[in-house]
Structure 1
Amino acid sequence: MALDEEAVEKIIKAGEIGARVRELATSLVKPGASAREVCSRVEEYTLELGAKPAFPCNFSVNEVAAHYTPGLDDDVRLTGVEVVKIDVGVHVDGYIADTAATVDLSGVNGPLLDAARSALEQVVRIMKPNIRVYDIGKAVEAAIKKHGYRPVRNLTGHTIGRWIIHAGTQIPNYPDRTTFHKRLRPGTLVAVEPFATNGRGLVRDGGVVNIYSYTGKRGRYKLSPEEEEVLEYIVENYKTLPFTPRWLLERFDKETITQAIRTLTAKGIIYPYPILVEASKGLVSQFEHTFLILEDRVIVTTCRDCQ
């Protein structure tokens, strides 16, 4: 995408805020803490720093690899032995930063965390303008396997657009031959997120859905006045970015939200993101940074020590 000076400034600002939000989030992951408490504070802190959430705070525990956030009623409370992935997104005027880290409360899964962390560190070292996507995947897989674990093959990084968290190009965590000739050109904003596991290295749909996004496909469907109002609120406040029904509690009651979400999903007006669970119930770790690729350099927007 073509980026002017203002866009670059907002992307960098989003990244700086994203790093601070990630650091706060991981500090809150302690025995006895709940997903609802942590995610609510993380989202509040994002607003306090002058940005907005680009998607709901993800709080994915043990074999859950991604996409869990508290819904209208459910929650997860930590006992003190879990592996917790915190994935946060912030945006400044639609310019997004996406970043994640993992906390091991058990104290025995450090090598699993090291596998994903070292893979991301290797990507930071090799990232450059016009790099092949294939080479990123190759570096990620090699680093994870060096630690004795497997990359999760059906979870990927992704390019990012304005107001679009997944902008089209996927960044696999292994050397996928279909990406051999794909390059990340200057002007690209991309999130790279290595996932490591002691399981099979695949995720499946876990059923629970607490995250959705507007598809932009309104169609001619007839909606009730309440459903129309909920949809208007979603579009006005989140555009095409992911949201969670609990955010709608600021305006609507649970019954109205539940019915509207059900109808809008059934008609394809909003898209559901189910939780993703490692297929063999293996533990999963994740680390992630956002990279801004310019003509002559790369800025790791969410890493304060990488510049």
Structure 2
Amino acid sequence: MIKVKTSEEIELMRESALVVSRTLGMLAKEVKPGVTTLYLDKLAEDFIREQDAIPGFLGLYDFPNTLCMSPNSQVVHGIPNDKPLIEGDIISIDCGAIKNGFYGDHAYTFAVGEIAAETQKLLDVTKQSLYEGIRQLKVGNRVGDVGFAIQNYCEKHGYGVVRELVGHGLGTTMHEDPEMPNYGKRGRGKKFIEGMVVAIEPMINLGTQKIRQHNDGWTITTLDNKPSAHFEHDVAIVNGKPELLSTFKYIYDALGITSNEEDEFRNV
């Protein structure tokens, strides 16, 4: 059952989402060769708590850490460890936080130093596909419209769109209805209504769409060990249209990037 949010609840959810956005922005300056994902995880936990929030992933379904840290061929759900990042790596950082009783859930794939041109293109296309999908999140459209937009954009570039892992509704629990696949058919699936809040999160592979789960019960990697990218925003339907609750602005400020990609999804 879809849990529609009031305007007041959406504003509380915006606060939760921005806790995560600020955390990713803080981490953006720290992602560099030589640092470990465990070090970044501890920074994130402390930073979230400093914002009067609670790490949303820590202990959720028995996950052991604050961040899901997924480098290179890891798609999602990687567990932080003491292996240093190296030049040329990419790393998806997926972060959750609870504030005011609501979850924020937000992800970005970072380059570690200079990366290969084909890997940078994967990151660029995956991030753009996120906005292609968000554009379809409006009253009267359906889940399949978002999935089709993401799938169509990425497959035109020859990339694999993961099927087994999906976005989701968001609220007082991390995973609510509806599921939000990154593939689909136009006009299919649940219809979008005013007040919905969802996490849209393309998980796109440089090679095959096929994945495998590791024995730790969490880590997901591409079957061909080629890189995978992952970007995620929290989005509400407000006045019939998609409105971002999360933002990459703090990341871009940290990295010196100028972008207007989010402007059309802001209520100004």
Whether the TM-score (by the shorter chain) exceeds 0.5 is yes
Selected match of 1:208 from 212, 216, 219: 216
Task: Give the deviation of 1:86 after TM superposition.
Answer: 0.6
Change (3 A) 1:3 1:77: same
Larger Rg: 1 or 2?
Answer: 1
8 Å CA contact 2:13, 2:171 repeated in 1: no
Q: Is 1:159 matched up with 2:169?
A: yes
**1:141 alignment partner, SS class:** helix
Structure 2 partner of 1:199: 207
8 Å CA contact 1:114, 1:147 repeated in 2: no
Change (3 A) 1:181 1:36: closer
How many residues are paired up? 238
Task: Give the deviation of 1:282 after TM superposition.
Answer: 1.8
Q: Is 1:115 matched up with 2:125?
A: yes
Looking at structure 2, the residues matched to 181 and 58 of structure 1 have their Cα atoms a distance apart, in angstroms, of 29
Selected match of 1:76 from 55, 58, 83: 83
Q: Which runs of 4 or more aligned residues in structure 1 lie more than 4 Å from their structure 2 counterparts after TM superposition? A: none
| Bigger helix fraction | 1
Q: Which amino acid aligns with 2:83?
A: V
Structure 1 segment 1-307 matched on structure 2, within 5 A: 1-55=3-57, 56-70=66-80, 74-105=81-112, 106-108=114-116, 109-162=119-172, 164-175=173-184, 180-209=188-217, 274-303=218-247, 305=262, 306-307=265-266
Change (3 A) 1:204 1:124: same
**1:33 alignment partner, SS class:** coil
Looking at structure 2, the residues matched to 86 and 208 of structure 1 have their Cα atoms a distance apart, in angstroms, of 18
8 Å CA contact 1:188, 1:293 repeated in 2: yes
**1:169 alignment partner, SS class:** strand
8 Å CA contact 2:54, 2:99 repeated in 1: yes
Higher mean displacement: 284-293 or 101-110: 101-110
TM-score between both structures, scaled by the size of structure 1: 0.72
Q: Which amino acid aligns with 2:165?
A: L
Task: Give the deviation of 1:5 after TM superposition.
Answer: 4.5
**1:99 alignment partner, SS class:** strand
Stretches of structure 2 that go unaligned for 5 or more consecutive residues are 58-65, 250-261
Change (3 A) 1:5 1:173: closer
Looking at structure 1, the residues matched to 208 and 48 of structure 2 have their Cα atoms a distance apart, in angstroms, of 35
8 Å CA contact 1:206, 1:276 repeated in 2: yes
CA RMSD of aligned residues (A): 1.9
Stretches of structure 1 that go unaligned for 5 or more consecutive residues are 210-273
Looking at structure 1, the residues matched to 45 and 191 of structure 2 have their Cα atoms a distance apart, in angstroms, of 34
**1:120 alignment partner, SS class:** helix
8 Å CA contact 1:58, 1:68 repeated in 2: yes
Deviation readout 1:157-215 (Å, 9 max, x if unpaired):
111231x21113211111158x8131232232210101111221122211124xxxxxx
Higher mean displacement: 6-15 or 37-46: 6-15
8 Å CA contact 1:26, 1:86 repeated in 2: no
Higher mean displacement: 15-24 or 60-69: 15-24
Structure 2 partner of 1:252: none
Task: Give the deviation of 1:295 after TM superposition.
Answer: 4.7
Q: Which amino acid aligns with 1:287?
A: F
Deviation readout 1:247-304 (Å, 9 max, x if unpaired):
xxxxxxxxxxxxxxxxxxxxxxxxxxx1111122121001100111235333210025
Q: Which amino acid aligns with 2:183?
A: Y
**1:118 alignment partner, SS class:** helix
Percent of residue pairs bearing the same amino acid type: 26
